[in-house]
Amino acid sequence: MGILPSEMNADICVIGAGASGITAALAAYWRDPSLKIVLVEEKERIGQKILVTGNGRCNLSNRTLTLDSYNEGAVRYEPVFRKSMADEVLFARLGLMLYEDESGRFYPYSNQASSVLNAFLNELNRTDIEVRAGSGVTRLEPGKQGIMIGFGNGEALLARRAILATGSPASVKSNRSEELVRQVGDRFIPFVPALVPLRIRGEQFRSLKGIRLKAAVALQKNGKTIRLESGEVQFGDGYLGGICVMDLSRYVDDGDYQLSLDLIPDRAKQGIISFLDASCSRSSNAAALLNGILPRRVGELLMRSMFPDAFSMSAGSLTEEDIGMVADLLKRWIIPVSSRCPMSQAQVCRGGVDGLDGETLSSARDPRVFYCGEIINVDGRCGGFNLHWAWISGKAAGEAAALSAREGIYE
C-alpha cells in the first residue's frame, strides 16, 4: 500500500500525540511500515503530559489490573484488555526496562517519566511517521473521498483513516474532544472530572492545609456507605485529596456526600481507649492528648471540636465517657463533602465517546474513524490503570486502522 490518490495526504492521521496517540501511530506503523502516517498535535511538543504523570515517575501500568479497576463502560472493550494485558511487550519493544513496586504498580526502571517519553521519541525517529506539532484540529468531516481534517491555522489534510486521541478536559485549559466526536456523529457521554480532590464543608478544615494522614475512608451518600478505600489523604485549601480520596471521587455525583475517616484503622476501639487512658497523665492539657498519635494540628482540632476549652482543661479531668467519645471520633471522623473540585484539578475524566466496536475501537457511525485513550468512556482508579488503557487502546486502534487501510475495507 502507501500509494495515495494525489489529493490524499495520509493513509492514517492520528489526532493528538499523547500517550495513546503516539502508541496508535507506532502500532499502525509496526503493522505496516509502508503506510503514510501523520501524527498531529496542537501543542508545540508531543507527549508532554506523560512527563507529569506519577509525580514525574510515570506509573504506567499495574499487575493487579482487572476490569473492576475501571468504570462499567470498560466492559464493552474487554477484548482489547484481554488481547493486550502483556503491556511489557510494548515497553520491551521500546527498550524501556520496568520495575514493579510492592503494590503491583509499574514504573520505568529509571524512575523518571522522561525515560518513557524519550523511548517513544527514539522509536518515532526511527520511523517514517510524520509529526506535525503546533496546530490543533478543529474540524473533522468524513466524506466520500476520505476524512477531511481541518486545523486551527486554516490548513487541511485528507486521510483515509483517522484516529482520534485528543484526551479529555482533565487538567488542561480547553479541549475539543466532545466537539470532534459530535462532528463524526458518535454517541457522547458528557465529561465530568474523576480522580479529583473533593471540596469539603467547614472553615475549620482550612487550618489543616498541607497535612497528610493515613486513614481508612468511607464515602457515604445520604448517610450510607457506598465505597471504602484506604491510604493517604491530603488536606488542601478547602478540599481533601490524596490517592484514596481521588479514587472515591469517581463515585461522587449530585447528592449529600460525606467522608468518614477511621484514623487508626488497625486498632480496635478498646485498644485506643487503653492508649488514651495512659496518655492522659502525660499530656500537658486536653488539647495535646492526641499528639502522640496524629499530627498536632489535627489532634488539636479534633479535641477542640469536642471540648471547646481543651487548651485550658487538664487531660486528667477527662472522664471515662469523654475518652470513649474521643476514641469514637478517631474511628469515625465525619467530613462533609460539598462537591468535586473542578476539571483543572482532575487527573482524568468520566464520560467520553461511547458505543464503539469492542475490539477495533472503530466508530459506530463511520468505520474509517477510530478512537483511543481517555476520549473513550473508560476511566480507571489511581495506580497506572489510566495509562495502561492509553497504551492498550492506542495499540488496538492503531493496528485496526492499519489493517483496514491496508485491506481497503469500507473504501
Ligand X SMILES: Cc1cc2nc3c(=O)[nH]c(=O)nc-3n(C[C@H](O)[C@H](O)[C@H](O)COP(=O)(O)OP(=O)(O)OC[C@H]3O[C@@H](n4cnc5c(N)ncnc54)[C@H](O)[C@@H]3O)c2cc1C
Please tell me the distance from the alpha carbon of residue 265 to that of residue 196, in angstroms, as a whole number: 24
Give min distance, CB of 138 to ligand X, in A.
Answer: 7
Applying CB under 6 A, the span of 95-103, 165-173, 183-191, 249-257 interacting with ligand X comes to: 165-173
Q: Which of 12, 13, 37, 49 binds ligand X (CB under 6 A)?
A: 49
Please tell me the distance from the alpha carbon of residue 397 to that of residue 395, in angstroms, as a whole number: 6
Applying CB under 6 A, the span of 4-12, 228-236, 296-304, 386-394 interacting with ligand X comes to: 386-394
Give min distance, CB of 364 to ligand X, in A.
Answer: 19
∠ at Cα 175 (169, 181), nearest 5°? 100
Take residue 359 and report the three cell numbers written for it.
475490539
The burial class, CB within 10 Å (0-12 / 13-18 / 19+), for 125 is exposed
Q: Which of 165, 245, 303, 337 binds ligand X (CB under 6 A)?
A: 165
Helix (H) or strand (E) holding 36: none
Give min distance, CB of 228 to ligand X, in A.
Answer: 22
Q: Which of 129, 245, 294, 387 binds ligand X (CB under 6 A)?
A: 387
Give the end-to-end CA distance of the chain in Å, rounded to a whole number.
13
Q: Which of 4, 8, 31, 43 binds ligand X (CB under 6 A)?
A: 43
Q: Which residues contact 271 (CB under 8 A, 6 or more apart)?
A: none
DSSP letters spanning 66-123: -GGGB-GGGGGGHHHHHHT--THHHHHHTT--EEE-TTSEEEETTS-HHHHHHHHHHH
Applying CB under 6 A, the span of 64-72, 213-221, 326-334, 385-393 interacting with ligand X comes to: 385-393
Nearer to ligand X, 60 or 290 (CB): 60
User: Considering the rule CB under 6 A, would residue 221 count as an interface residue with ligand X?
Assistant: no
User: Considering the rule CB under 6 A, would residue 41 count as an interface residue with ligand X?
Assistant: yes
User: Considering the rule CB under 6 A, would residue 166 count as an interface residue with ligand X?
Assistant: yes
From residue 5 to residue 24, the character string flagging contacts with ligand X as x (rule: CB under 6 A) and all else as - is ----------xxxxxxx---
Amino acid at 330: L
User: Considering the rule CB under 6 A, would residue 169 count as an interface residue with ligand X?
Assistant: no
- Other beta carbons within 10 Å of 94: 16
Take residue 273 and report the three cell numbers written for it.
481507649
Applying CB under 6 A, the span of 49-57, 275-283, 301-309, 402-410 interacting with ligand X comes to: 49-57
Please tell me the distance from the alpha carbon of residue 274 to that of residue 287, in angstroms, as a whole number: 18
Nearer to ligand X, 34 or 48 (CB): 48
Take residue 272 and report the three cell numbers written for it.
485506643
User: Considering the rule CB under 6 A, would residue 115 count as an interface residue with ligand X?
Assistant: no
User: Considering the rule CB under 6 A, would residue 374 count as an interface residue with ligand X?
Assistant: yes
Please tell me the distance from the alpha carbon of residue 84 to that of residue 70, in angstroms, as a whole number: 16
- For ligand X, the binding residues (CB under 6 A) are 15-21, 40-43, 49, 52-54, 58-59, 136-137, 165-167, 170-171, 175-176, 347-348, 373-374, 384-387, 390
